[in-house]
Amino acid sequence: MDAVTLDPDAIAARVGELDEAGARARLDQLVPEINHHNELYHRHDAAVIDDRTYDLLYRELESIEARFPQLVRDDSPTRRVGGPAVEGLAEFPHRVPMLSLANAFSDDELREFDARCRRFLGAAAPEHIAYVVEPKLDGLAAELVYADGRLTGAGTRGDGQVGEDIVHNVRTMRSVPTRLHGDDVPSWVSVRGEILFFLAGFEKMNADRVARGEKAFENPRNAAAGAVRQLDPKLAAERPLQFIAHSHGLAEGTAASPSHTEWLARFRAWGLPTNDLNRRVEGIEEVIVAIADLRHRRDDLPYEIDGAVVKVDDVELQEQLGFVTRSPRWAVAYKYPPPQVTTLLEKVTFQVGRTGAITPVANLRPVRVGGVTVSRATLHNEDQVRLLDLREGDHVVVERAGDVIPRVVRAVPDEEHASRPEVVFPSSCPVCGGEIHRDPDEAVMRCTNRLSCPAQLVAGLRHFASRGAMDVEGLGQKLVDQLVDRGLVKHVSDLYRLTRSQLLTLERMGGKSADNLLAALEISKGRPLERCITALGIPTVGEATARDLARHFLTLDALMAASDADLLGVHGIGEVVAHEIAAFFRDPAHRAEIDALRSLGVAFTPLDAPAAAASVVEAIAGKTFVITGTLPTLERAEAEARIQAAGGKTSGSVSKKTHYVVAGEKAGSKLAKAQELGVPVIDEATLLSMLG
Ligand code: IVH
The phi, psi pair for 563, rounded to 5°, reads -85, 170
pLDDT at 616 over 90: no
Question: If you ran DSSP here, which 8-state letter would residue 272 be given?
Answer: -
Q: Which atom of ligand 1 is nearest to the CA of 135?
A: 15
Is the distance from the beta carbon of residue 321 to the nearest atom of ligand 1 less than 6 Å? Answer: no
Q: Are 89 and 166 in contact (CB under 8 A)?
A: yes
Beta-strand pair 660-663/624-628:
parallel
Buried b (16+ CB within 10 A) or exposed e, 522-555: bbbbbbbbbbbbbbbbbeebeeebbbbbbbbbbb
> 323 C-alpha to center of ligand 1: Å?
15
- DSSP secondary structure of 26-89: HHHHHHHHHHHHHHHHHTSS--SS-HHHHHHHHHHHHHHHHH-GGG--TT-GGGGG--SPPSSP
CA distance 648 to 643: 5
pLDDT band at 617 (very low <50, low <70, confident <90, very high): low
Spatial CA neighbour of 554 closest among 605, 606, 617: 606
pLDDT band at 614 (very low <50, low <70, confident <90, very high): very low
pLDDT tens for residues 147-162? 999 999 999 998 888 8
Is the distance from the beta carbon of residue 237 to the nearest atom of ligand 1 less than 6 Å? Answer: no
Amino acid letter, 662:
V
> 309 C-alpha to center of ligand 1: Å?
7
CA distances from 636 to 89, 420, 586, 660, 666 (A): 22, 70, 43, 15, 14
pLDDT at residue number 292:
95
Cα 606 to chain centroid distance, Å, stands at 28
Is the distance from the beta carbon of residue 194 to the nearest atom of ligand 1 less than 6 Å? Answer: yes
How deeply is 214 buried, as exposed, middle or buried, from its count of CB atoms within 10 A (0-12, 13-18, 19+)? exposed
CA distance 482 to 517: 14
pLDDT at 46 over 90: no
Beta-strand pair 445-447/681-682:
unpaired
> 141 C-alpha to center of ligand 1: Å?
7
pLDDT at 253 over 50: yes
Is the distance from the beta carbon of residue 245 to the nearest atom of ligand 1 less than 6 Å? Answer: no
Spatial CA neighbour of 117 closest among 324, 334, 278, 306: 324
CA distance 511 to 495: 17
Q: Are 344 and 131 in contact (CB under 8 A)?
A: no
Total count of residues recorded for the chain: 692
Is the distance from the beta carbon of residue 136 to the nearest atom of ligand 1 less than 6 Å? Answer: yes
The phi, psi pair for 660, rounded to 5°, reads -140, 140
CA distance 104 to 381: 32
Is the distance from the beta carbon of residue 201 to the nearest atom of ligand 1 less than 6 Å? Answer: no
CA distance 582 to 566: 10
Q: Which atom of ligand 1 is nearest to the CA of 136?
A: 12
Is the distance from the beta carbon of residue 101 to the nearest atom of ligand 1 less than 6 Å? Answer: yes
pLDDT tens for residues 71-114? 988 888 887 776 677 777 899 999 999 988 988 989 999 999 99
Residue nearest to atom 18 of ligand 1 (CA): 136
Q: Which atom of ligand 1 is nearest to the CA of 333?
A: 7
> 226 C-alpha to center of ligand 1: Å?
19
Amino acid letter, 32:
P
Catalytic residues: 136
pLDDT tens for residues 236-245? 888 899 999 9
CA distance 39 to 41: 5
What 3-state class would DSSP assign to 547? helix
Q: Mutation test of ligand 1: which of 191, 194, 294 has the most ligand atoms closer than 8 Å to its C-beta?
A: 194
pLDDT at 613 over 60: no
> 182 C-alpha to center of ligand 1: Å?
26
Q: Are 335 and 307 in contact (CB under 8 A)?
A: yes
Q: Which atom of ligand 1 is nearest to the CA of 134?
A: 15
> Side by side, which strands form the sheet with 140-147?
150-156, 140-147, 188-197, 241-252
pLDDT at 5 over 70: no
Question: If you ran DSSP here, which 8-state letter would residue 259 be given?
Answer: B
pLDDT tens for residues 419-474? 999 999 999 999 999 999 988 777 889 999 988 899 999 999 999 999 889 999 88
CA distances from 533 to 309, 530, 582, 656 (A): 42, 5, 13, 27
Q: Which atom of ligand 1 is nearest to the CA of 193?
A: 13
> 90 C-alpha to center of ligand 1: Å?
23
Residue nearest to atom 22 of ligand 1 (CA): 100
Q: Which atom of ligand 1 is nearest to the CA of 100?
A: 24
pLDDT at residue number 49:
80
Q: Provide the percentage of residues in the chain whose pLDDT is more than 70.
A: 95
Is the distance from the beta carbon of residue 244 to the nearest atom of ligand 1 less than 6 Å? Answer: no
> 24 C-alpha to center of ligand 1: Å?
41
Spatial CA neighbour of 525 closest among 515, 535, 516: 535
Q: Mutation test of ligand 1: which of 94, 98, 100 has the most ligand atoms closer than 8 Å to its C-beta?
A: 100
Q: Which atom of ligand 1 is nearest to the CA of 141?
A: 13
Is the distance from the beta carbon of residue 315 to the nearest atom of ligand 1 less than 6 Å? Answer: no
Is the distance from the beta carbon of residue 134 to the nearest atom of ligand 1 less than 6 Å? Answer: yes
Q: Are 502 and 508 in contact (CB under 8 A)?
A: no
Is the distance from the beta carbon of residue 527 to the nearest atom of ligand 1 less than 6 Å? Answer: no
Q: Tell me the average pLDDT of the chain.
A: 89
Beta-strand pair 91-93/162-164:
antiparallel
Helix (H) or strand (E) holding 375: strand 372-378
pLDDT band at 357 (very low <50, low <70, confident <90, very high): very high
Residue nearest to atom 13 of ligand 1 (CA): 141
> 224 C-alpha to center of ligand 1: Å?
16
Spatial CA neighbour of 321 closest among 312, 332, 330, 331: 330
Is the distance from the beta carbon of residue 137 to the nearest atom of ligand 1 less than 6 Å? Answer: yes
pLDDT at residue number 492:
95
